[in-house]
Amino acid sequence: MKKLILIPFLLFTLLSMAACGGDNENPFTPEVPEQPGNGDKEEPDTPEPGENGRYLVLYSSRTSNTKRVAQLIQTTLDCDILEVEPETPYDDDYNGMLERAQKELADVRQGNYPPVKTSIENFDDYEMVLVGYPIWYGSMATPMQTFLHNYASKLAGKHIALFATSGSSGISSSVSEAHDLCPDAVFVEQTLLLTSSSLNQMESRVPAWLNEIGANKEAPDTPDASSLKVKITAGDHTITATMDDNAAGRDFLSRLPLEVTLEDYNNITEKIFYPNPKLDLEGVARGCTPSPGDITIYEPWGNVAIFCKSWSYSDDLIKIGHIDGNGIESLQVSSDIKVKIERQ
């Protein structure tokens, strides 16, 4: 008798459970455990430190040729050094590496940069960043292209010196790429290229190049006087700029502090003033295609012109510095501006 009563009860229970689960119910799926590190922000890398904190050697290297040059520079200057590494290491197989390099270079030309695992908080403490890389098919190796692309804003106003290794390719194309990647950086004109036929000369060529670009192990006797950084104060706003290391730039620095009125010229295209006497232009390269933030001299008039807008090339313009970061936005107004310019 008990069994007869139990059977209808079980049937009723099963029918009730079925009715509660309509067609729109999702099937049960177990929770997927979170992968370690998912969503975590990576800590910035810390460069290997040296005693001389004025310089940072930043390099990428696959076959260790560029690494050897970078390490020699680091030893010579006793400065900080950091390797830029791809997120996925390259194959040891040479042909496989070539195929990947060609694909990555093609991707970069389309604006798709292969990820790197190297990061850095800032470059504020460095006077100069020495950037080294191998040359692949005439171009800068893609890990360094990605890194410069990622950190272009933090490198604005920073002096950058380029060195590279290659089988036989020249460096000029990669220099143009660096300028495009970091348009607001200040590039040292002298570069260093060591090819397969000259790599064995690096013990002599590296020190000679460092001497040529003014990088040395000793700290300057008067660091404030040697700095190329200036600050420009207009009312409550202060922006910074980095002067070029040429005769005109040094002459400009020697006259600071200055209090001048920047006159608006050509509808916020330029802010100008007239130094008296005119700045020293001996040995300074002529010709410039100004972009926003460029500090220039217009040779026929002798005036300093800070460009707020891009302008066409002129043989009479001489670049002597650049406003750091987005500071030029403070000067992009239609009125004249009284400013104080002094060393930073």
Give Cα 176 distance to the centre of its chain: 14
The encoded tokens of residue 115 equal: 């990820």
SS3 content of the chain, % helix, strand, coil (to 5): 30, 25, 45
Decide: 162 and 171 in contact? Cβ < 8 Å: yes
Does the bond joining 47 to the residue before it have cis omega, within 30 degrees of 0? no
User: For the chain, where do the domains classified as CATH 2.40.100.20 start and end?
Assistant: 224-343
- Which residue type, as a one-letter code, is found at position 307? F
The span from the CA of 91 to the CA of 201, in Å, is 29
- pLDDT class of 42 with cuts at 50, 70, 90: low
User: For the chain, where do the domains classified as CATH 3.40.50.360 start and end?
Assistant: 52-212
- DSSP-H helix ranges across 151-238: 172-181, 202-212, 223-226
Q: What is the pLDDT of residues 49-98, one digit of tens each?
A: 888 888 999 999 988 999 999 999 999 999 999 999 999 998 888 888 88
- pLDDT class of 331 with cuts at 50, 70, 90: very high
Choice between 32 and 62, residue whose per-residue pLDDT is larger: 62
Decide: 54 and 226 in contact? Cβ < 8 Å: no
The span from the CA of 283 to the CA of 321, in Å, is 16
**What φ, ψ does residue 40 adopt, rounded to 5°?**
-80, 135
CATH T-level fold of 224-343: Cyclophilin (2.40.100)
- Residue 102 in 3-state DSSP? helix
pLDDT at 320 over 90: yes
The span from the CA of 47 to the CA of 34, in Å, is 31
CATH no. for 52-212: 3.40.50.360
Instruction: Return the HEC string of 4-54.
Output: HHHHHHHHHHHHHHHHHCCCCCCCCCCCCCCCCCCCCCCCCCCCECCCEEE
Please state the rounded mean pLDDT for residues 129-133: 97
pLDDT at 22 over 60: no
- pLDDT class of 115 with cuts at 50, 70, 90: very high
The span from the CA of 276 to the CA of 298, in Å, is 14
Q: List, in order, residues 6 or more apart from 186 with CB less than 8 Å away.
A: 157, 158, 159, 160, 242, 244, 322
Place of tokens 């060195």: 163
- Percent of the chain whose predicted confidence (pLDDT) is above 90: 63
The span from the CA of 80 to the CA of 127, in Å, is 12
pLDDT at 47 over 80: yes
